[in-house]
Amino acid sequence: MLTAKQHELLHFIQQKLDESGISPSFEEMKEALGLKSKSGIHRLISALEERGFLRRLPNRARALEVIRLPEGAKSAMHDHRDNVTPLRKAPPALKPIAANDIVEVPLHGRIAAGVPIEAFEDHNQLAIPAALLGAGDHYALEVSGDSMIEAGILDGDYALIQKADTAREGDIVVALVDGQDATLKYFRREGRMIRLDPANSSYEPQRYEAERVMVQGRLSGLLRRYH
């Protein structure tokens, strides 16, 4: 049997999802239930998870999915029976990404480290808003240097990279040269050559035979921390 607070939280979450497709924040849940701290919300969510009413979406913070509701949902505050009715779900393609959704991606290291991307070990993760990413797999690299400052990419920024082995003219890519030197540059073709353009007038473009350059991803976003 669910407690009154568990019922109240479950239906509050479902109401927010029905209204906007966005799960409420812990602060919103705390205020809606009149609790003094967020720790009480964590305990309620864990209890609802254990009972199979709620699920946290994997690799995402504060993104919740209501799996089922107690039978007689409209009178749930007065009827705490354990009989349940499966919740019909909208097709995934119709559900917007929650504005408070957080995704963790591998943080491989600094882009000027001079080693192949595959050589980085995935011990570190970077938590970022899901809205910054598109489709596909992603990883993050910490930018080192000023060769892309005119594109708004500064030393210490985190470049969010969509994994890819091809690029279109003018894409900003992670390019691996001679299997060892990774760099973040604009991708251009010059006949049978590849030109990697910086975004800083103090630097010259780099030209290589096409077989020497391997695209390892395309820039999809940028994350900057202010200290």
Confidence of residue 90 (pLDDT cuts 50, 70, 90): very low
Q: Which two structure tokens, joined as six digits, stand for 225?
A: 């921390």
Query: Between 132 and 185, where is the model more confident?
Result: 185
A 10 A CB-CB count for 125 gives 13
Which domains are assigned to the chain? 4-89 (1.10.10.10), 104-223 (2.10.109.10)
Q: What's the mean pLDDT when you consider all of the chain? A: 77
Residue 108 exposed, middle or buried by CB count within 10 Å (0-12, 13-18, 19+): buried
Q: What is the mean pLDDT of residues 11-22?
A: 82
According to the model, what pLDDT value does residue 195 have? 95
Query: Between 166 and 83, where is the model more confident?
Result: 166
Alpha carbon distance 122, 107 (integer Å): 7
Q: What is the mean pLDDT of residues 211-222?
A: 91
Distances (CA, A) of 66 to 23, 24, 80, 205, 224: 10, 12, 17, 53, 33
pLDDT tens figures, 91-137 = 343 344 444 467 788 887 777 534 445 445 455 788 887 777 777 88
pTM of the full predicted structure?
0.55
Alpha carbon distance 8, 103 (integer Å): 28
DSSP 193-217: EEEEE-SSTTS--EEEEGGGEEEEE
Q: Comparing C-alpha atoms, which of 79, 76, 74, 56 is closest to residue 66? A: 56
According to the model, what pLDDT value does residue 174 have? 92
**Catalytic (active-site) positions:** 147, 185
